[in-house]
């Protein structure tokens, strides 16, 4: 619990950290955040053997496997019932701006994940709630649908570019593997 006392922020109840047992997962509470990056970061028991961490940057994976990892990362967005629909609608333009900025910086994978998060949020998650049909005017829904269609086109273009890039990288990996 944090409060402001005398112009300074102070923690009333200090956080208690316990040392995990040798068999427990090390750093689990603060290293793994499954809602934002599922499967990309792991904390392992020191006694376990090291496994392969599957990331979209791993050229040894087939192209479609690498792309599935990106899709999974893009679907990892949760809707809170405590947050009103209006707040999500205000975030709509910000999500697109972030993705467009990543695309301008030639960070295709990150841009695709952001566009996919937008589509997951506005196509799958928010339409399930009762506020979407009851509280939004037809004009607002029309604007959202136009934005969704525009983002679909951008995401499909990025998808084709990424799959082409992944195919080239995988073919190069296979050629290097055969020549060795």
Which two tokens mark 28?
């689990």
Q: What is the pLDDT of residues 16-46, one digit of tens each?
A: 333 343 333 433 333 333 344 444 333 334 4
Pick the CATH number of 63-179 from 1.20.58.80, 2.60.40.1180, 3.30.1200.10, 3.40.50.1010: 1.20.58.80
Global pTM value: 0.68
Per the CB < 8 A criterion, the answer to whether 158 and 115 are in contact is yes
Distance from chain centroid for Cα 91: 15
- pLDDT score of 129 more than 90: no
Contact 37, 53 (CB under 8 A): no
CA distances from 136 to 89, 117, 128, 131, 141 (A): 10, 21, 13, 7, 6
Give the domain ranges of the chain.
Answer: 63-179
Write the pLDDT tens digit of every residue in 145-165: 999 999 999 999 999 999 999
Higher pLDDT, 28 or 98: 98
């Amino acid at each position: 619990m944090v409060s402001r006392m005398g112009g300074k922020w102070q923690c009333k109840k200090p956080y208690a950290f316990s040392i995990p047992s040798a068999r427990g997962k090390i750093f689990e509470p603060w290293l793994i955040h499954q809602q934002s990056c599922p499967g990309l970061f792991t904390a392992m028991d020191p006694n376990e053997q090291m496994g392969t961490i599957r990331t979209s940057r791993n050229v040894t994976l087939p192209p479609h496997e690498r792309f599935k990892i990106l899709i999974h990362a893009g679907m990892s967005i949760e809707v809170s019932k405590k947050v009103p629909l209006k707040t999500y609608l205000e975030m709509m333009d910000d999500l697109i701006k972030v993705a467009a900025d990543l695309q301008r910086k030639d960070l295709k994978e990150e841009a695709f994940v952001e566009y996919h998060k937008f589509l997951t949020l506005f196509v799958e998650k928010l339409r399930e709630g009762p506020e979407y049909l009851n509280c939004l005017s037809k004009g607002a829904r029309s604007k959202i649908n136009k934005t969704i269609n525009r983002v679909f086109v951008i995401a499909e273009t990025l998808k084709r570019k990424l799959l082409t890039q992944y195919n080239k990288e995988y073919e190069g990996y296979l050629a290097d593997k055969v020549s060795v």
